[in-house]
Structure 1
Amino acid sequence: MPYTDVQFSPYLTFTRDDWARLRADTPMTLAPHEVTQLSGLIEELSMDEVEEIYLPLSRLLNLYVAAQQELDSVTTTFLGRQASRVPFIIGVGGSVAIGKSTTARVLKALLARWPHHPRVDLVTTDGFLKTNAELERLGLMDRKGFPESFDLPLLLNFLAEVKSGVAHVEAPVYSHFHYDILPGQNIIVDRPDILIVEGLNVLQPAVLPKNGSAIPFVSDFFDFSIYLDADVDVIQHWYVKRFMRLRATAFRDPGAYFHRYAQLSQEEAKERALMIWRNINLKNLEENILPTRPRARLILRKAADHRIETVALRKL
């Protein structure tokens, strides 16, 4: 039988209700005011979403962490070395405006309340973008967020050091207000139990050399990966809505990089948001981000109201 005729999916797909039942007896550890604080700019997180989606996911991740720690212990015993705990790294990917930051924040809060891994850090790959000055020099300002706009060696070295158990690993800080890397500022990752890495292209594979030389991928350092998914027209709506919300808030500050957009009329601002979406973010989604979806361990599929409607877990 031709391969193209084989009906096969490496994923088990769950409805919202089926997934919610996998919470089992996992306790709710977040208060309503904490859930409100974790909400995004245009995404109002609900207690139901945490209880039905994120608590089962935190239970699954807790089991993965425990299994990985046991495997690390077995490996160090085999090698005759002193056991040392290696950080469990979770990658969270997906389009601009899809809610990656909200998902990462919720997981950080929930996972930190499990007794065996209380130290959970969160890093975004925005900090590993090339500076605006460098992007201007390379002619890449209109491709900011595309794979080539990141300092990939810096990101790979950061992940390698974290995964090797190095203490006090530095990561650059990115400011959305200034739309640039903040010079001289860093965050420190100091041997956490879990590190969550959130970004657009975290599941992007490298271009493999024909001579078989080793080329690391960012996702090589992940123990678990999550992709946030939704229809493209829905993401476009969210992007424009977020742009308009920022236009009425952060962009009004004269020091903001995008202050000029606050001066536009309502219609002009919507047209500008759509132009940016179509010319930059949609292209990046179609060319670089969406093709990485099948590489994720878990896919969270969102409806137009931001509620996660299905969960797909890779079985192979």
Structure 2
Amino acid sequence: MSFTRAQWAPLRANTPLLLGEDELEKLRGVNEPMPVHEVAEIFLPLSRLVNLHVTAARRLLQVTDTFLMRPSLSPPFILGVAGSVAVGKSTIARVMRALLARWPEHPRVELVTTDGFLLPNAELEARGLMRRKGFPESYDVGRLLRFLADVKSGQETVQAPVYSHLTYDVVRDETVTVHRPDILIVEGINVLQGPEATRDGDGVGRPRVVVSDFFDFSIYVDADEDALERWYVNRFLTFRDTAFRDPESYFHRYSQLSQPEAIDTARGIWREINLVNLQQNIVGTRERATVILRKDAHHAVEEVRLRRTDPTPPVELR
């Protein structure tokens, strides 16, 4: 089902906007506008929808627990956020976390990005994968799946690895602790990858568990490739004048580029790496999302698509 902004905004019903401009400013990413009216018209209705899903999931689990005559203990609700590099999914994940934490039914909302589950640079170098960083094969998928399984099983505390965007690498021996949240948001470019058959020694294909198997709800942030390239280049130029100037930055060498050189470099990285990953691995997962947020050229969501499975129509017997 497809909704324009005008059709989607009233679905917030009477949900109040409790997120102020000061807090919103801290949630915005680099060159990613997120005005208050965008939150009110797009993300407040979306937070209401997720809240309804959380409530329904808990009720369904209670039914099963009642049948099994055992105490009911709801596992964390897991929300996935996917999309291309530079599409603004990190900002959206942070905004959704702030909005969902204000619902009294689930005050504890945690956010984890899959960057921490990338293989360390040394291992990527050894495998010849540095220029495929962010592609599915560059992640420690087994560790990510174990993390999600532990969270979903209701463990009190679970550790997630930490990633540094300054050094462009996983931080060795450093973790962040997730304390049994009501909702866990998992954000990353490839989190909606579908199951693929793996063949054992007997030649039989068997389904493989994937990250999205643990999701109760998922969001895909979508935009045209031309817009994505422009946003990526603009972000690169901003970093050239800010973060890249830090001598500790992995990309410090780029801080010395002239404006034309920086634009050419950013376009090259986008077209040779990020665009290839988008076309080969990311955009194909879009239709698996519960909700698709379609952005216009100015980062504003212009369309919301909601996937709904209707009951099977009656079959006419002849």
The TM tier, using the shorter chain, reads over 0.9
Answer yes or no: is the 8 Å Cα contact 1:72–1:86 preserved in 2.
no
Q: Which runs of 4+ in 1 moved over 2 A?
A: 209-214
| Corresponding residue number in structure 1 for 2:161 | 172
| Corresponding residue number in structure 1 for 2:264 | 271
Structure 2 distance, partners of 1:214, 1:205, is 10
TM-score by length of 2: 0.94
| Corresponding residue number in structure 1 for 2:278 | 285
Query: Per-residue deviation at 1:184?
Result: 1.1
Deviations 1:10-35, CA, capped at 9 Å, x for gaps: xx000011000111100011112112
| Corresponding residue number in structure 2 for 1:141 | 130
Deviations 1:254-282, CA, capped at 9 Å, x for gaps: 11000000011111111000000010000
Residue range with higher mean Cα deviation, 63-72 or 206-215: 206-215
* 2:17 paired with 1:28: yes
Query: Per-residue deviation at 1:81?
Result: 2.0
Query: Per-residue deviation at 1:82?
Result: 1.7
Q: Secondary structure at the match of 1:305?
A: coil
* 2:305 paired with 1:312: yes
* 2:63 paired with 1:69: no
Structure 2 distance, partners of 1:293, 1:148, is 19
* 2:178 paired with 1:189: yes
Answer yes or no: is the 8 Å Cα contact 1:36–1:44 preserved in 2.
no
| Corresponding residue number in structure 1 for 2:143 | 154
| Corresponding residue number in structure 2 for 1:207 | 196
Deviations 1:63-85, CA, capped at 9 Å, x for gaps: 00000011111111222222112
Query: Per-residue deviation at 1:209?
Result: 2.7
Query: Per-residue deviation at 1:214?
Result: 4.4
Question: Residue 101 of structure 2: which of 112, 116, 139 is its match?
Answer: 112
Structure 1 distance, partners of 2:234, 2:70, is 54
Structure 2 distance, partners of 1:49, 1:188, is 31
Question: Residue 75 of structure 2: which of 83, 86, 92 is its match?
Answer: 86
2:21 maps to amino acid: P
Identical pairs, percent:
60
TM-score by length of 1: 0.95
Answer yes or no: is the 8 Å Cα contact 2:28–2:34 preserved in 1.
yes
| Corresponding residue number in structure 1 for 2:244 | 251
Answer yes or no: is the 8 Å Cα contact 2:195–2:207 preserved in 1.
no
Deviations 1:96-118, CA, capped at 9 Å, x for gaps: 00001000000000000000100
Answer yes or no: is the 8 Å Cα contact 2:159–2:177 preserved in 1.
yes
Q: Secondary structure at the match of 1:237?
A: helix
* 2:234 paired with 1:241: yes
Structure 2 distance, partners of 1:37, 1:200, is 22
Q: Secondary structure at the match of 1:117?
A: coil
Q: Secondary structure at the match of 1:142?
A: helix
Q: Secondary structure at the match of 1:41?
A: coil
Answer yes or no: is the 8 Å Cα contact 1:104–1:196 preserved in 2.
yes
How many residues matched?
Answer: 305
2:230 maps to amino acid: H
Structure 2 distance, partners of 1:226, 1:152, is 20
Structure 2 distance, partners of 1:104, 1:250, is 22
2:272 maps to amino acid: N
1:129 maps to amino acid: L
Deviations 1:226-276, CA, capped at 9 Å, x for gaps: 000000000000000000000110000111000000011111111000000
Answer yes or no: is the 8 Å Cα contact 2:196–2:207 preserved in 1.
no
